[in-house]
Chain A
């Protein structure tokens, strides 16, 4: 950033308005307008209008909420988010702090931990399916150490909590990397002097983490939380590959209503619901995290 700061005054000194930057920005604005803002409006529009008459209606939302899968879908989506995201943040923070100690070999370790960044939710689901399926690696391992004689069926509708556990484990395995990278980038922005000063004043490692690093890391933590939560609300392929529709989730229902029942309107109602949930969670995060800041300040 330093280089740019030094150059900017020269660009700003010009009196005549230079239209070049606006011209350069224009394609992105037009594109995002057509393929981002328009479908967002369209999602809400489709969810509240009748496809035949074009009049306003709540019928799609009623069909959505009357569906057998609706309540479980909301419950499971929120459960997966509420359990997986805190684990991802805690584990991501631990890995980021570990990498930041710059132990010998930390760059290889960082690469290994970043590998799941490139792995899709679909591939991650299939990978963990090879572990949890009836003749999978987990059962093979349990049999090899003599814990079971017959394979245990982990992924069955009779054990919804095991299905949920498998999905959460897969999500933690796959998506901790994003949190870790965001937090590591944040950690590297914190000047080394701060930590050194803290230790000069007699703070131990835990106190330094609690009172120096974590407060300074707040913007990164906030970003990681928001990104992960919103992505968790859209959880789809991991769940479908491991649990099919036995663990219904919102994005999965949107997919089934669109592909299976051929109802773009109800699918859009689900899309609108996901948008609404995501919007409100961002709002809550921003409020809560800001409040906490003012609470902590006096102490």
Chain B
């Protein structure tokens, strides 16, 4: 038994270090003075720390605006995907109707679909529709990507709240809509918030579609990848950028840790 425990802990330690070490290193790189990054012999521990590298990144052309664009796109994406997918999640959880199983399968299929490549034909269509190089256009693609995730989490949230509570409210004289708004929705809020936060990460991280669909109105990942590919941005810019993009992820995964299994757990049977 103790030998097994020793095995479990050492495996946990090795795997934990494998995940954590690169995160620590990029953090270290982001606070290392610029000239130390290019020195040889390169010291592992910089001895002195500075905000200059991060400030250089933040002050680089377009970074602040791209950050704002990213947040804006994520906000529209959250709004749109809830407007569209939440009613569907509610319907799947609360009603039994013809085609329900087919719909659930279709949702799973969209999650498994190589969706980002669709941004190329969409770019052609967006030029015609006047959505090209707009933040709304990027948000629309991000919405399409996040719909399956919002749906599964909304379904699980409403399944976990007993319908009898809504029924009780209705027998006490409220309409179905009132029962939903006053009884079910407040209880569902934490789960829905988790879905919203996850949608934010999905949009904040998405590179391919954002790069294809924008020219001037870049989101942050699109700006970074473009400055790496086209302009050959210096290493300290890249490290600071990498760190800058990772920080929200750490916070957000922590906030939604209870819902991680729901987001990914649904399988093909």
Contacts and interface: CB of A to CB of B under 8 A. Distances in A.
Instruction: Bin the interface of chain A by size.
Output: 35 or more
Interface string A27-69: 1100110011011101101100000000000000000000000
Interface in B201-222: 201, 204-208, 211-212, 221
Contacts of A141: 44
A171 interface: no
A255 interface: yes
A259 B208 CA distance: 11
A191 interface: no
Interface string A137-173: 1011101100000110000000000000000000001
B95 A11 contact: yes
Given A116-B19, A122-B205, A227-B112, A271 B84 contact: no
B8 A98 contact: yes
B26 A130 contact: yes
Interface string A250-294: 010011001100001001101100110010001000000000000
Given A21-B97, A126-B26, A227-B111, A119 B205 contact: yes
A230 interface: yes
A259 B117 contact: no
B55 interface: no
Interface residues of B, number: 102
Interface in A218-276: 219-220, 222-223, 226-227, 230-231, 233-234, 236-237, 240-241, 244, 251, 254-255, 258-259, 264, 267-268, 270-271, 274-275
A147 B41 CA distance: 13
Contacts of A223: 112, 266-268
A22 interface: yes
Interface of A: 1, 3-4, 7-8, 11-12, 18, 20-25, 27-28, 31-32, 35-36, 38-40, 42-43, 45-46, 91, 94-95, 98, 101, 103, 105, 109-123, 125-131, 133, 135-137, 139-141, 143-144, 150-151, 173, 178, 181-182, 184-186, 188, 219-220, 222-223, 226-227, 230-231, 233-234, 236-237, 240-241, 244, 251, 254-255, 258-259, 264, 267-268, 270-271, 274-275, 278, 282
Interface of B: 5, 8-9, 11-12, 15-16, 18-20, 22-23, 25-26, 29, 37-44, 83-85, 87-88, 90-97, 100, 103, 110-125, 140-141, 143-144, 147, 151, 159-160, 162-164, 201, 204-208, 211-212, 221, 224-225, 228-229, 235, 238-239, 241-242, 245-246, 248-250, 252-254, 257, 260-269
